[in-house]
Amino acid sequence: MISNAKIEPTIKIVRTDAAPTAAFGARAAPLIRAEGIKLQFDRGAINALDGLDFHADKTEFVAVVGPSGCGKSSLLNLVGMLEAPTSGQLFMAALAYADVADQAAFRRRHFGFVFQSFHLIPTLTALENVLLPTIGARDSRRDSLERAWQLLANMGLDKRARHFPSQMSGGERQRVAIARALINEPDVIVADEPTGSLDSAAARQVLDCLERIRARTHVTIVMVTHDAEVSARSDRIVHLRDGRLDPSWESRT
């Protein structure tokens, strides 16, 4: 087993206030790589993932699409280290997930999660929700607070910082959730149908925010979506069927 510290020289964490870059999606070595991953449930009766290879390059926005039950959320759970595969290997850069000693700390440090139903804490304000993942982090409270305000401003929500989730629209809530996903300056945003509960105008706004953030931070995005308008804005669309990649469908947008 090796410690989390070993990954640090290879994974560059870029601050959200870094200078914007010229272009998205510049080709790079895979940041995330999955090789022959299988995920079984009920002692092998269910093959959620059935020998799947997957990769996402640094700064890439990969959309994962496919019919209900084909394994999209399962793939995200593995990519985001929320679950371990039954067999096969996942890597961040050269580091195998299986070799990470403190998986929770690694996950907190390198991944930000966004879900369809926002998962905000109803009794906390927008600002407090964004700050939640910084509890116990190494940064000073002041740095975290400054970053949370900056992220809310980037999301067009600086005037909503003191509001509770129930006082905000779905699109605003999802932008709070995205700010929360970004507060620890992750390398990868793992998003499971983040626009699934939003109308198309709100969905567009959420996508605009993510694109702005990606331009500034070089964050990699792996996103499950059922929305063709959303996947059309990705760099690459990966199609899943029955727990496998459907190679006849892989497309670069």
Ligand X SMILES: Nc1ncnc2c1ncn2[C@@H]1O[C@H](COP(=O)(O)OP(=O)(O)OP(=O)(O)O)[C@@H](O)[C@H]1O
Q: Cα torsion for 210, 148, 91, 12, to the nearest 10°?
A: 100
Q: Which of 48, 155, 188, 213 binds ligand X (CB under 6 A)?
A: 48
71 interacts with, out of Mg ion, ligand X, none, CB within 5 to 8 A per kind: ligand X
To the nearest whole angstrom, how small is the minimum distance from the Cβ of residue 71 to Mg ion?
9
Q: Are 106 and 214 in contact (CB under 8 A)?
A: no
Q: Are 186 and 113 in contact (CB under 8 A)?
A: no
Segment 39 to 98, residues that bind Mg ion, using CB under 5 A: 73
To the nearest whole angstrom, how small is the minimum distance from the Cβ of residue 148 to Mg ion?
29
d(CA 150, CA 156): 10
Check binding of 117 to ligand X (CB under 6 A).
no
Burial class (CB in 10 A: 0-12, 13-18, 19+), 23: exposed
To the nearest whole angstrom, how small is the minimum distance from the Cβ of residue 1 to ligand X?
26
d(CA 76, CA 85): 11
To the nearest whole angstrom, how small is the minimum distance from the Cβ of residue 64 to Mg ion?
10
To the nearest whole angstrom, how small is the minimum distance from the Cβ of residue 128 to ligand X?
29
Segment 56 to 75, residues that bind ligand X, using CB under 6 A: 66, 68-74
69 interacts with, out of ligand X, Mg ion, none, CB within 5 to 8 A per kind: ligand X
Q: Which residues, including other chains, have CB under 8 Å from residue 177's CB and lie 6 or more apart?
A: 114, 115, 118, 119, 120, 129, 194
Q: Which of 6, 41, 200, 249 binds ligand X (CB under 6 A)?
A: 41
- Going residue by residue from 74 to 93, which x/- string records binding to ligand X, judged by CB under 6 A? x-------------------
d(CA 211, CA 233): 9
Site residues for ligand X per CB under 6 A: 41-42, 46, 48, 66, 68-74
